[in-house]
Amino acid sequence: MTRSTDLTPLLKRLRLGTMAATLPERIALARREQLDYNSFLEIILSDEVNRRENRRVELRLHNAGFEETCRLEDFDWSASITVDRRLLDAVFSLEFLDRHEHVLLVGPAGVGKSFLAQALGYSAVRAGHTVRFIHADGFFRTMAQARVDNSVDRTFRSFLTPDLLILDDLGLHRLTAQQSADLYELILNRHRASSFVITSNRAVDEWLNIFDDPILGNSALDRLANASYQIVIEGSSYRERQSPHRKLLGPGQQGGD
């Protein structure tokens, strides 16, 4: 029976059971390198700190609700789009989160807005922030269901707690009076307290038209627009380049009629 096996029950009682998996390897390393006690203890404790941090990141990624894992380094910059890289680099520094500012990504369908929004969320999670990703229509459906369930306060608070809330595809249709009020309250309560990333096919100056009540719309958008980075993406569909059909044809090839 090895010493690491003897230690397993004690490690489990201390809620350090995962340490048992790497302990034999670390003991062998300590003997081979003739490490002193302090160095050996530092190594095994560092292992545990890294494991716990990785678990926290995995949990935050799971709770964020991303549709897919998107990272900035995976973005296809050869796509036929134009975007201000200076602004993009500025927001990916994540300093806007510390200042409780916002990021508005606008442009036609398929140019990569949702990818970049989720990549920004992924970077925020890796940096230790809490993030929630949801389609704008999903937010309105969730609030409508909360009224049926008599859970409006609890549900609404769940959208206030993340450091970063990503609302995808805002402005696909005109909002009802209740939806306008919900969006107004969301912006009002998160403004200067935490950050948004919002994507939309509509230019920001067109967002007022989606509100049922222009007074609410003006009040909400004035707060949002004056504390945000507005990044416009133009070009042809990014999604088209990712289609199985285009990948099969290869670059520069066209499909027949």
Q: pLDDT tens digit string along 21-71?
A: 888 888 888 899 898 989 888 888 888 888 888 888 889 899 999 999 999
Tell me the two tokens of residue 196: 């948004």
- What is the C-alpha to C-alpha distance for residues 107 and 198, in angstroms, rounded to an integer? 12
Lowest mean pLDDT among 41-50, 92-101, 145-154: 41-50
Q: Could you give the dihedral angle defined by the CA atoms of residues 167, 172, 174 and 176, in that order, rounded to the nearest 10 degrees?
A: -50
- What is the C-alpha to C-alpha distance for residues 24 and 14, in angstroms, rounded to an integer? 18
Other CB atoms closer than 10 Å to residue 200's CB: what's the count?
21
The pLDDT assigned to 250 comes to: 56
pLDDT band at residue 110, thresholds of 50, 70 and 90?
confident
The pLDDT assigned to 47 comes to: 85
Together in a domain, 106 and 220: yes
Count of alpha carbons within 13 Å of 43, Cβ hemisphere only? Answer: 16
Counted domains in the chain: 2
Together in a domain, 76 and 13: no
pLDDT band at residue 236, thresholds of 50, 70 and 90?
confident
Please give the angle made by the CA atoms of 68, 221 and 187, to the nearest 5 degrees: 60
CATH number at residue 167: 3.40.50.300
Question: Which residues, 6+ apart, have CB-to-CB distance to 78 below 8 Å?
Answer: none
Q: Burial, 212: exposed, middle or buried (Cβ in 10 Å; 0-12, 13-18, 19+)?
A: middle
Residue 255 in domain:
no
- Of residues 200 and 48, which shows the higher confidence score? 200
Using CA atoms, how far residue 239 sits from 35, 76, 159, in Å, is: 54, 10, 29
Q: In which element (H, E) is residue 180 found?
A: helix 177-190
Together in a domain, 179 and 238: yes
Mean pLDDT value of segment 248-252: 55
Together in a domain, 121 and 82: yes
The pLDDT assigned to 41 comes to: 87
The pLDDT assigned to 243 comes to: 60
Residue 253 in domain:
no
Together in a domain, 199 and 113: yes
Domain membership of residue 45 as a residue range: 3-63
Amino acid at 113: K
Res 98 pLDDT > 90:
yes
Mean pLDDT value of segment 214-240: 88
Lowest mean pLDDT among 165-174, 202-211, 221-230, 245-254: 245-254
The pLDDT assigned to 2 comes to: 46
Residue 247 in domain:
no
Partners of 166 in the beta sheet?
A: 133, 197
Together in a domain, 106 and 205: yes
pLDDT band at residue 13, thresholds of 50, 70 and 90?
confident
Residue 256 in domain:
no
- Of residues 245 and 4, which shows the higher confidence score? 245
Of 162, 173, 168, 175, nearest to 198 (Cα)? 168
Q: Are 26 and 43 in contact (CB under 8 A)?
A: yes
The overall pTM is greater than 0.85:
no
Together in a domain, 45 and 156: no
Tell me the two tokens of residue 190: 């998160």
